[in-house]
Structure formats: structure tokens, C-alpha cells
Structure 1
Amino acid sequence: MNRKYLQLMRDNAGNERQPLNLVRAEDSTDATLYIYDVIDAWWGVSAAQVAPAIAALDPSTTLHLRINSPGGDVFEGRAIRTAIQQFRGKTIAHIDGLAASAATTIADAADEIEIAEGGFYMIHNGWTFAMGNKHEMRKNAELLDKVDAAIVADYARRTGLDVKQLADWMDAETWFSADESIEHGFANRLATLPDKAGDGANNASSRKWNLTAFDRTPKALLEAPPPKPDPEPEPDYAAFRAHAERRLRLLQIA
């Protein structure tokens, strides 16, 4: 069983949980949604939180998505992406620190993307949990192929890049600096910060993720990772498997 996803969740479980924070300025048509957590229905930001918050906004609103996330559940990310795409107002994603894995799916849904200097954007192949015989393993691999193909198609629509190049980058788990993200079309521009940035930007720059679950994390992002939480009982893998299988079956309708 591939436990990288569980490792990512557990390694960051000691971080203070960030409440989903939708801020609407009283004298403005702008609203800001902070996604400063892992993407997961159990351990972080979920579609069940995000979708109703976005749906409640007036279409005249400009929605700002402030993102600093190591990623998480691909299906939660997809559902959040759909909620953003269905919003009829303008959407701008601000990558304040890190957009990795499923967090890129969310950022990519916005009309415009800007990334802070020193920020990173990471793409890779999907992960899953799998148990069973060889036939079940092949079925899971086929479903993951569909997941990755859908993600590649998303990136290709935004960047205009060749799908083979994008797939190769995903195979290699590729981390893009802010400048590289713009160069390759994942982001539109570098963020311009005022002299005194708002609380969100300050919090993002100080928030540290434990990214050791990934294979090619840049050294700069591995320095002084937060301590792992105290040992907890072994997760209920049967429950995780059932949870993952329910989500993977959704792709069978594609």
C-alpha cells in the first residue's frame, strides 16, 4: 500500500488547524477565501466547506483565493475546483507560499493566477490506497491513469503546453519556482505586495509544511520541518481503503 498520502496528512497533523476563512469587505465587491491547509475532508479544507461559501456569493463579487497548501485528496481538490468554475464572478488565485499536488487543481480553476516571490508550484502523479489481488491492482492503476489524464488536460488548457511534456513533469514530481511557474504558463504574474501585507500573506510566509512525503522537495522547503505529532494509534486502513474506493469509483462514469 502506498502510504505517502497518509504520511503527508500525519506529518502535518501537528500544525494548528486553519479555519476556512471567507472575508467579505463591507465596502467592496471583493471576497477572499483562505486555503491554508491540506486538502482533505477529514484533516483539512474540504469541498463541503468551500462550495457553500462560494455559492453564497453574489456574481458581482470578485473572489480571491489565497493558497498555501501542500495538497491532499485529489477528489476534494476536484470538487473545490468545480465550485470555483461554477461561480459566475471573476476569480483570482494568489499562491502566497506553496501550491502543490491537489492545491494546483484549485489554483488552476481561477481566471487569473499570481504567485508570490519565493513561492512554489508542484505537479505529480496521483496517489491512492490499494489492496487486493492482481486484477484489483490493475483496475486501480487504470483509474489512476484516468485521474492523471484529467489533470494533464487541465494543465494543458491553461498553459498550452504539450501533454507529453506535462505528463513527463508529473512523472518526475516537478517543483517550479515562481519565475518558472510564470515562464511555463502555470501562473500569469508575480504577486506585488504592498508595504504592509495583510494578515493572510504574513501567515502564509510563516507557515511551514513537512514535505518529506514527497520525493523531490527542494532543499529550501525541507529546512527545519515542523516536528511530527506525538505517535497516535495506527490509522484504520480498511476505512481509508473504503473511502478511497468510493472516490475512485466516481471515475468509472467517465
Structure 2
Amino acid sequence: MITGRRIVEEADGRVRVDYAAPPKPEPIPMLRDGVVRIEGSIRGFGDCSAASLRQALKDWPAGEPIVVEIDSDGGHIGEAVAMHLALRNDPRPVTVRIFGQASSAAGLVAMAADRIEIAVSGRFAIHYSRYESVGTATATRLRAMADLLDETDAQIVDLLVPRCRCSRGWLLQALVSERKFTGHEAVEVGFADAVIPNR
């Protein structure tokens, strides 16, 4: 598969098509300016992944409380759970600050923190898992995907329930309706501990 194509003009004036893949940009480290930054879409590669987070935690000063800033629209649920576990299993206290959004899978990462702060204009959003299909699928394949989605939905509930101050029934309905919360609403229902000023 051709992954990149560009027109190149040689020194002698000849023009050719270069089919080589463009060089991959260096991943941006998560640990920047004394803060672990989770930004953009969570994927199993690049600078917003569990591997990048584990490296940032390794580079964090020993014995110092960890500060994580999240501004992410979510992404891959499996990767988010791995990020959640990396934070949860770190012995140091973890504070998460949400200045933009912690939506979808990013909200599950935030649930690992000992303390969650959200900006006045910050947003927190939850929903059940989704399957985006490309191409065709058999009934057997679709049934298998439905089973996987059910398992993933149970995992989402398990990660949200410990912080949610509302009933389990309320939480399940909020997931169905793909509920979005303002900073104050997130604190009211328990998904954050405090509202902080915008920056």
C-alpha cells in the first residue's frame, strides 16, 4: 500500500514522483512543563498512548505527587483502560486537571486519580462503547461484536461507579443518553472533586 506520495524536483530540473512514506514525526513527550499532558485522541501508538504515559510516569521525579492535565476527546477504550491502570497502580498521589474536555475514554483515564479538578468551562462526557465498522460483516461477526460491546460497557460502568454519587440506574441512563457535564455538574455527580478557574 502506498502511504505517502510527493512530487520531487531534482537538481537537474527533472521531476519524479516519490512513493516513499513520509518520515514519521517524533512523538511529543507527555511530560512537558512539569505536567503530564494527555491531549488529543487516545490511540495505541504515538504521543497519546499507555506507553507514552508509562514513560512519563517513569520520568516523573521520584516521590513527588503526579499532576496530569487532560484535554482529550477520548479514543481507544483498551488503551484508556491501560492508561487508567498505569495511574491507579502508581504509588504516588495523582491529581487530574481537566481544562478542556475529558470525554469518552479520556474520562475513564481521569477516574484513576486521587483528586480530579475541572475548569469552569471544562467538559466531562460519558457514553457506552461504540463499534465503527468498515466494510461488510456476517451475522456471526456482528453477534461477536455485540458480545464484546456488552463486555466493554460493563467495564465502563465498573470504572465510573466508584466515583458516581448517583444511583447505578441513573448512571446507566446517563451512558445511554451520552451525557455531557459542565464543570459544576461533574462535581455535583462525583466525577470531579472541585471546580477550578479557567486558564
Range class of TM-score, shorter chain: 0.7 to 0.9
Is residue 135 of structure 2 the alignment partner of residue 126 of structure 1? Answer: no
8 Å contact kept, 2:96–2:110? yes
Aligned structure 1 segments of 4 or more residues deviating by more than 4 angstroms: none
Higher Cα radius of gyration: 2
User: Structure 1 residue 18: deviation in Å?
Assistant: 8.1
Please tell me whether residue 188 in structure 1 is matched to residue 197 in structure 2: no
Q: In the TM superposition, what are the counterparts of 1:166-245 in structure 2 within 5 Å?
A: 166-192=171-197, 201=199
Deviation at 1:46, TM superposition (A): 0.9
Per-residue deviation, residues 165-211 of structure 1 (Å, max 9, x unmatched): 11111111110011110110100001146xxxxxxx5xxxxxxxxxx
Q: 1:56 to 1:44 in 2, by over 3 A?
A: closer
- Cα offset for 1:40? 1.0
Q: Name the TM-score, length of structure 1 as normaliser.
A: 0.63
Alignment of 1:96 onto 2:99: yes
> Are residues 1:20 and 2:25 paired?
no
Provide, for residues 115-159 of structure 1, a one-character-per-residue CA deviation record: whole Å limited to 9, x for no partner.
Answer: 001111000111124453112211111111111111112111112
CA RMSD, 1 decimal:
2.1
Which structure ranks higher in relative contact order (CA pairs < 8 Å, sequence separation ≥ 6)? Answer: 1
Q: CA deviation at 1:47?
A: 1.0
Q: Identity of paired residues, percent?
A: 28
Deviates more, 1:130-139 or 1:117-126: 130-139
Q: Does 1:105 align with 2:128?
A: no
Residue 161 of structure 1: how far off its partner (Å): 2.8
Q: Distance in 1 between matches of 2:122 and 2:102?
A: 8
Write the distance in 2 (CA, Å) between the matches of 1:119 and 1:66: 12
Q: Which has the higher helix share?
A: 1
SS state at 1:70 partner: strand
TM-score (norm 2): 0.79
Correspondence for 1:231: none
Unaligned runs of 5+ in 2: 1-25
Q: Is the 8 A contact 1:38 1:44 kept in 2?
A: no
Q: Does 1:61 find its partner at 2:64? A: yes
Which structure 1 residue ranges, 5 or more long, are not aligned?
Answer: 1-16, 25-30, 194-200, 202-254
What count of residue pairs does the alignment treat as equivalent?
172
Counterpart CA distance in 1 for 2:42 and 2:56 is 16
Q: Which amino acid aligns with 2:194?
A: R
- Answer yes or no: is the 8 Å Cα contact 2:27–2:46 preserved in 1: no
CA distance in 2, matches of 1:81, 1:55: 15
**1:67–1:18 Cα change, 3 Å:** farther
Cα distance, 1:59 vs. partner?
5.0
